Structure formats: C-alpha cells, structure tokens
Amino acid sequence: MSSILKKALVMCGAVFITLAGNTVNAKQISIGMSFQEMDNAYFVTMKEALDQAGSDINAKIYVSDARHDVSKQISDVEDMLQKKIDILLINPADSVGVESAVQAAHKAGVVVVAVDAQAQGPLDSFVGSKNYDAGFQAGKFLGESLQGKGKVAILDGIPVVPILERVRGFEDAMKAFPGISIVSKQNGKQERDTALTVTENMLQANPDLVGLFSVNDVGALGALAAIDANGADVKLVSVDGHPEAIKEIMKDKSHFIATSAQFPRDQVRIALGIALAKYWGATIPSEIPVEIKLITQTNAKGFSW
C-alpha cells in the first residue's frame, strides 16, 4: 500500500470517527454523487457503499445517473447545486466534457472529488484505481499465456482517463513480446451488446486472432459470448473484477483468463472521507491512487468487491 493511500485512510478514519460523535448537533451535510452510469454492478456496488457511509454520518445523499451522456451529467450536477450540496463526488462520463460542471461546483464553494475517472477542472482531489497498472498486468498475463506469439486486439471504451490509461498500459505490456502484434482496436463502448457485435466483426476480419484485451468486464462478457459462439480459440483479459467475470474465470477451459480487479467500495469511501476532511478545513492530497489486483483462475475463488 502506498504511503499516500495510508495517509488518506488514516485521515478518512479520523473524519468518520469525529463525525459519528458529533452528528447530533452538527449541520446535516448534503452530498451529491453523479455517476457516468448505473447499469453496471461496479457502480451499483459503489453506490451501496456511499449510501452506507452517508447513513453512518447522517448525511443527505443525492445520486444521479448520466447514462454516458455528458450533457445530462452537467444538468444533473446543476440540479444538485440548486439543492445546496456541500460535497460533489463526480464519476465523469467524459473527462474533458464535464469540466463546466466541475467549474460550476467549485464556484459555488462545493468540495469536488472525482471518483474512478479523472475530470478536467478545479478538483479538490481525485481517487481512482491504478489504471495503467491494470492494463499492464492484464497484458503481461495475456502475453505470457500466449507464450509471446500471435495476433491480439483491443476492445476500447469511452474517452475517460482510466480507459486511456488501461489501453496505454496494455500496449506497453505488449512491447515485451515482439512475437505479438496488435491488429485491431475498436470501441465496444463498455457495453455487453455493443462489445459482442464489435468482437464478432473482429473475429471475422482476423480469423487467426488469439488474444483480446477489453477495457472493462461488462464489455468482456459480451466479447466472451462472441468468442464462444464463433468457436475461436481466443484468450480474453479485462479490467474490473465483476462478479460474473470472476465466475467465468473460475471455469475450466474458459477463454476468460484474467481480470485486473478494482475496489469500488474502497474508492468511494476514501473519496468521501477526504472530501469531508476538506470540508472541515484539512489539507488533502490532490490524488489518491488505489491498488488493483490481478485475478486469475488460481486466486479467483472467494474474491468479491
């Protein structure tokens, strides 16, 4: 665990203990969280952790679902600002496009922390996984599993920093395997149905494909359906730690061989803790990276978010 993460965890613990002992007389804090989407178990898990933490400190929680629409996300944040929130946790649908919402919240005196995906604008902090490491570790495992040979492809996603970093990490991992070539990179939009169709097209265009990296598990599950239906011998790696992905990885002879698991509960708890610390006048880190863990068949049993 990094020293900055240890410091943040200590800070978060102190904040929650302090608040828990003073919620009777303290002003009720209002917290808004804008998600890029909620049709994903990863973000549902994050919301559950936020609701529990908010209940623990008697905070008012507002949640919105942007549905991958940055215009809707900006409007959602505007609505939260009208409700006089004290803290905004934002999980951007577009790292650049959401800047006006971040600026508006900052101008209103709201503490702003980006969670899971970086956002452009005057943030107080950002809490997110080590996404470069996630892509790199998944890529390294894939390369080793392929014995350093063959054609691979990338199932890309939406234009947010974590996705870009995962792809960059994967591409860098491939550089250690001169016998492997990346022959295709297409956008599956991190959606199961879209990823299935995109993977079908990849397999038709590249019948000798042997490996595929997906930027998230939901997309990977769509890709897996396409691989199984095609009968292709393609090894699949991804990022997230989704419960359904873990089940697939545990199966014998599964094409899904690994995922770089994230920890959504930790991310949102740390984000809320440091936001509260900032709200109460403490100096907080500008960025807190959260470790990931590569899950394969050897350690998948018992893993969960």
* pLDDT per residue as tens digits for the range 193-241: 999 999 999 999 999 999 999 999 999 999 999 999 999 999 999 999 9
Residue pair 85/64 in contact (Cβ under 8 Å)? The answer is no
State the pLDDT at residue 23.
Answer: 45
More confident residue, 7 or 149: 149
Residue pair 301/81 in contact (Cβ under 8 Å)? The answer is no
Confidence band for 276, pLDDT divided at 50, 70 and 90: very high
Confidence band for 160, pLDDT divided at 50, 70 and 90: confident
Mean pLDDT across the chain: 93
Percentage with pLDDT > 90 across the chain: 89
pLDDT value at 291 more than 80: yes
Q: Which domains does the chain have, with CATH numbers?
A: 3-129+263-290 (3.40.50.2300), 131-261 (3.40.50.2300)
How many CB atoms lie under 10 A from the CB of residue 133? 17
pLDDT value at 10 more than 70: no
Mean pLDDT of all residues in 113-118: 96
Residue pair 254/300 in contact (Cβ under 8 Å)? The answer is no
Report the alpha-carbon distance of residue 288 to residue 5 in Å, rounded. 6
More confident residue, 25 or 28: 28
State the pLDDT at residue 149.
Answer: 98
Report the alpha-carbon distance of residue 117 to residue 37 in Å, rounded. 12
State the pLDDT at residue 92.
Answer: 96
Residue pair 245/259 in contact (Cβ under 8 Å)? The answer is yes
Confidence band for 15, pLDDT divided at 50, 70 and 90: low
CA-only gyration radius of the chain, Å: 20
* pLDDT per residue as tens digits for the range 41-51: 999 999 999 99
Report the alpha-carbon distance of residue 181 to residue 284 in Å, rounded. 43
State the pLDDT at residue 158.
Answer: 87
State the pLDDT at residue 24.
Answer: 42
pLDDT value at 288 more than 60: yes
State the pLDDT at residue 200.
Answer: 98
State the pLDDT at residue 9.
Answer: 54
Of 45, 88, 89, 98, the closest CA to residue 68 belongs to: 98
Question: β-pairing, 293-296 with 256-261?
Answer: antiparallel
State the pLDDT at residue 14.
Answer: 53
pLDDT value at 5 more than 90: no
State the pLDDT at residue 159.
Answer: 83
